[in-house]
């Protein structure tokens, strides 16, 4: 009996394994509020959020999700107190350094999308190392959106097109949706089928604006550190109950 079959029999979850979202993206929100509710510093919430991510990554891979994109640090997050930014960067560095141990025996690829050039040198080195380490893995692709802002991503794509037009490599009349999409950080992956945001907020917050044109959204009041396998299953069940028309009747 496969893991998928045994899991769903054990948990009696009515879910269609043939209609899984291929690409799930998550806005991991609520770490600070989780910590505040418990009288803890915000950094404690971020660490618990990191533990929640580890669990969801492994679970997503087990049930057959192909792409998981998580919003880890936005271009706007640099406005936060330096101590909090440093703590977030430290957690990311720790996660990358421990990738071999975390992924031991797992066929997961780790990638970072965003403006990598704006990151500290030690993190850039770890990103390059982990990308090379996991490049041949064919299971879940974990995409960590780091120093990521969707508007900035689109602006950079347009600039790239302008350079090619200026240098005669591309004609203006040939610019279309595919040529723009092909210059985004997500150029080689499908658009997200489902975006999840935790903590009760109902905003997209400059995340995958281009890519989410026909994405289904699912919002939950659960704070990210409390987000578990059953919440992901609940989101997938809701996704499977919807009729995706992509602008059609």
Which residues are catalytic, by number? 29, 77
Cβ proximity of 206 and 76 under 8 Å: yes
Among 164, 168, 166, CA closest to 183: 164
Beta-sheet strand order (sheet of 67-74): 109-113, 141-148, 67-74, 23-27, 194-197, 216-219
Tell me if 224 sits within 8 A of 31, measured CB to CB.
yes
> Which tokens is 115 given?
């403006």
Name the region of 238 (left: φ>0; alpha: ψ -120 to 50; beta: rest): alpha
């Amino acid at each position: 009996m496969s893991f998928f079959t045994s899991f769903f029999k054990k948990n009696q979850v009515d879910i269609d394994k043939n209609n899984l979202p291929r690409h799930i993206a998550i806005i991991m929100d609520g770490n600070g509020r989780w910590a505040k509710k418990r009288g803890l510093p915000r950094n404690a919430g971020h660490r618990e959020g990191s533990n929640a991510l580890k669990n969801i990554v492994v679970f997503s891979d087990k049930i057959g999700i192909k792409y998981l994109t998580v919003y880890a640090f936005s271009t706007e997050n640099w406005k936060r107190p330096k101590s909090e930014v440093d703590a977030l960067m430290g957690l990311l560095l720790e996660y990358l350094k421990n990738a071999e141990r975390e992924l031991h025996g797992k066929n997961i690829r780790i990638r970072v999308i965003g403006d990598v050039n704006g990151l500290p040198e030690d993190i850039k080195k770890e990103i390059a190392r982990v990308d090379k380490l996991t490049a041949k893995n064919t299971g879940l692709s974990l995409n960590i959106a780091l120093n990521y802002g969707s508007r900035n991503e689109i602006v950079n794509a347009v600039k790239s097109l302008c350079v090619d037009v200026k240098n005669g490599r591309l004609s203006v009349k040939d610019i279309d949706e595919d040529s723009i999409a092909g210059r985004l950080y997500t150029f080689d992956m499908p658009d997200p089928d489902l975006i999840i945001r935790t903590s009760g907020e109902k905003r997209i917050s400059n995340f995958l604006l281009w890519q989410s044109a026909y994405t289904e959204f699912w919002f939950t009041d659960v704070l990210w550190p409390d987000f578990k396998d059953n919440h992901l299953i609940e989101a997938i069940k809701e996704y499977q109950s919807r009729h995706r028309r992509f602008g059609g009747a």
